[in-house]
A and B are shown apart, each in its own frame.
Chain A
Amino acid sequence: MSEPSPDTDARRIATEARDRARFEEEALALADQVYRVARRLVGSREEAEDLVQETYARAFRSWKSFTPGTNLRAWLLRILTNLNVDRGRKIQRSPQTQPLEETDYYLANKMASAAGEEALETDDVVERLSQDSIVNALSEIPPQFRDVVVLVDIGDFSYADAAQILDVPIGTVMSRLHRGRRALKQHLAEEALS
């Protein structure tokens, strides 16, 4: 066997540098979407910025473990949600655990009775809600439910992608989504009535 010539070696290094640059550019192009999810997973803008920076630092370091051609957005979000879980363990943001058993139509009725019967024909109820309402409501939901709602309803991930990102079965995604949406609605109802 012959030693790799300096020439082949140089070519290998050049190829790797090119692959890496391409990876980094593709990852950076997704930064807005990654930030949007981060912003809804954590309480403040500063925390979201930190989380996104940690995510990109880890992604750039371990770029070789990404399989080209697979879903880069999901790969980045998987790093982000893992980092967020680690942070959560350290910070222990104690979510208020409230019974989540109120039914969907009960909540719709509650909001309708506050905004008037006809409100459900229009967007009146929704118009009572501000940007802050969604931030407040999301922060009240237990994290495992919040993660799924943010990924599917805000990040536009499929159930399958969300399952892959969070490393749980699809059935778990669906049941958490169901409970998370209900909890979100409950808190949004409170926001609309406050």
Chain B
Amino acid sequence: MGEPCDRCEELLQDFLDRTLSDAEWREAEEHLVGCDYCRRRYRFEESLRRYVRTSSLERMPPGLMDKLTELRGLDATA
């Protein structure tokens, strides 16, 4: 998979979080154009994050909404 690139590893998480400054963003993008290793690293991290998010799109079990609705109007002292 090639040698890791220190600067890219440093920028990677913030790049995916979109919290880099404009200058850092440009630096990362320019680097990505020329660095095969980093492109793969970024894509890998991105797909992992997508997995974490989409594997958790479970809806609540049927019946729970009814139970929650029954809780309406609970007294503050109850």
Contact = CB atoms under 8 A, between A and B. Distances in A.
Given A31-B64, A105-B4, A120-B1, A39 B56 contact: yes
B34 interface: no
Given A57-B74, A60-B71, A120-B43, A154 B4 contact: no
A79 to B, nearest CB: 13
Nearest to A124: B47
Interface residues of A, number: 48
A36 interface: yes
Interface string B45-78: 1011111110111111100110111011111101
Interface string A105-139: 10011011100010011010110011101100000
A56 interface: yes
Contact of B76 (A31, A45, A61, A113): A61
A80 interface: no
B56 A36 contact: yes
Contacts of A123: 47
Interface string A6-23: 000000000000001100
A39 B1 contact: no
B40 interface: yes
Contacts of B64: 31, 35, 49, 52-53
A178 interface: yes
B13 to A, nearest CB: 7
Interface of A: 20-21, 24, 28, 31-32, 35-36, 39-40, 45, 49, 52-53, 56-57, 60-62, 64, 103-105, 108-109, 111-113, 117, 120-121, 123, 125-126, 129-131, 133-134, 149, 153-154, 156, 178, 181, 184-185, 188
Interface of B: 1, 4, 9, 12-13, 40-41, 43-45, 47-53, 55-61, 64-65, 67-69, 71-76, 78
Given A35-B58, A131-B55, 16 more contacts: A32-B59, A36-B58, A40-B56, A49-B61, A57-B71, A57-B74, A60-B72, A61-B74, A64-B76, A108-B44, A113-B1, A125-B48, A134-B52, A153-B53, A154-B53, A154-B56
6 nearest A-B residue pairs (beta carbon): A35-B60, A105-B4, A60-B74, A120-B40, A126-B51, A134-B55
